[in-house]
């Protein structure tokens, strides 16, 4: 799998993650699924050889979590702006990686 493929898969995983698993009536199954999904994300990102990309994806994960848990529309918009800026840095045209 190329670095670009890994980036695309990591972004897809962020978008699919169940950020609200904690509201699942305290069941272990949703928590375990969310934790397993997070671990898979961590392992995928750790397999990328470019430290800057790894740091960017980890930051995006953290911002996505904050955005999911925020009720403040302005904060959510601010978080989305941060994610958009980070996404721009991950575009193939701005990366100097072998595909």
pLDDT at 94 over 60: no
- Per the CB < 8 A criterion, the answer to whether 56 and 10 are in contact is no
pLDDT value, residue 32: 85
Average pLDDT over residues 3-18: 92
Residue recorded with tokens 């955005």: 67
The pLDDT tens digits for 26-72 are: 677 888 888 899 999 999 999 999 999 999 999 999 999 999 888 89
The burial of 54, by beta-carbon neighbours within 10 Å (0-12 exposed, 13-18 middle, 19 or more buried), is given as: middle
pLDDT at 4 over 50: yes
> CA-to-CA distance for 53 and 71, rounded, in angstroms?
29
């Amino acid at each position: 799998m190329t670095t670009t493929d890994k980036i695309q898969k990591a972004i897809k995983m962020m978008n699919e993650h169940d950020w609200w698993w904690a509201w699942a009536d305290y069941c272990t199954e949703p928590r375990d699924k969310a934790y397993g999904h997070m671990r898979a994300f961590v392992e995928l990102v750790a397999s990328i050889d470019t430290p800057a990309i790894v740091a960017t994806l980890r930051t995006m994960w953290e911002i996505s979590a904050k955005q999911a848990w925020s009720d403040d529309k302005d904060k959510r918009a601010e978080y989305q702006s941060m994610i958009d800026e980070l996404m721009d840095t991950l575009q193939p045209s701005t990366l100097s990686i072998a595909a």
